[in-house]
Amino acid sequence: MSKRRLQVILTEEAWTVVESVTKEANAGFELGTINYSDAINELILAAKVDIKLLQSKHTNIRRSLRFMASKGDVDLDDVIRTLTELKARTAGSKKQKREATVDG
């Protein structure tokens, strides 16, 4: 089995999940140990990523506007619809970030 080492920066929310899974996996498990790498590998293998949501969370609004403006035939209704959809998809993640900042 080939192993690769990679440094990853986790959000507080992601780290909480990793710690929780690792603690739960080790609770009452006396035949071995589960480390953070083991837990993270299983989380990755079991994950179903929503690609559109991931892209939405990392969309650069300025770049998007420049891209839309560079098209020869700009349809203002399409631009507004696209930006509204982007706002709707990312609103939940921004709200969670704000709540975490206020709570933390």
DSSP string, 41-96: HHHHHH----HHHHHHHT--HHHHHHHHHHSSS--HHHHHHHHHHHHHHHHHHHHH
Long-range contacts of 95-103 (CB under 8 A, 24+ apart): 96/13, 100/12, 100/13
**Residues written for the chain:** 104
What pLDDT, on the 0 to 100 scale, is given for residue 96?
52
The gap between the terminal CA atoms of the chain, to the nearest Å, is 40
What pLDDT, on the 0 to 100 scale, is given for residue 97?
52
Residue with tokens 């399409």: 78
What pLDDT, on the 0 to 100 scale, is given for residue 47?
93
What pLDDT, on the 0 to 100 scale, is given for residue 18?
97
Mean pLDDT per block of 10 residues along the chain (104 residues) reads 88 97 96 95 93 83 83 82 78 55 48
